[in-house]
Amino acid sequence: MSILDLLGFARSSASQSTDDGSTETVRRIVQKLDALEPERARYIASFAYILSRVAHADLDISEEETLAMERILVDLGHLPKDQSILAVQIAKTQSKLFGGTENFLVTREFKELASREQCHELLHCLFAVSAADDSISSAEEAAVKQIASELNFTHQQFAEVRSQYNEQRDVLRGVRQE
């Protein structure tokens, strides 16, 4: 038995869907948020995971990005601070361990749970988390673009939101300096 098995992070079960359609990643976070209604907890869990997906795109989740994710879950998710911290920490761990296999599945689950307005709100939040350390790396921007595509946003819709964060985009900083 591996250490991951002992800790409940076995790779073989991570990408499996359960009978209710939720992924193992979302279920782990939901279990920790059991004070919420199950549907609401699944929404928060998937929202937190997708935020951490973007924060981890450059293989480093900064303290500023972590604090931004926690703040977003308090402000938009209406979670108490302690639940927000817990959800973000679990989402970060799951993203680091299983990101490659879970990313699309969790985003698909979020899309099923969320309204179009909530998906649009998430898109803004993804850029806000990426920009939290005053820098949106190319990897983070590519991750946001991928998620936007998975949520069925057009390139125009993506570009409109992205334009609000041009000052933090690393790809444009080099152009402005020249």
- For the chain, which residues make up each domain, given as ranges? 22-177
- pLDDT value of position 22: 63
Residue 45 burial (CB count, 10 A) = 30
Rg (CA), the chain: 16
CA 39, CA 175: separation in Å to the nearest integer? 45
- pLDDT value of position 173: 72
- pLDDT value of position 83: 86
Residue ranges for the chain with pLDDT beneath 70 = 1-22, 25, 28-33, 174-178
- pLDDT value of position 3: 32
- pLDDT value of position 34: 72
- Looking at the domain covering 22-177, what would its CATH class be? mainly alpha
- pLDDT value of position 11: 42
- pLDDT value of position 6: 34
3 state SS of 124: helix
Q: Copy the structure tokens of residue 40.
A: 């609401």
- pLDDT value of position 73: 93
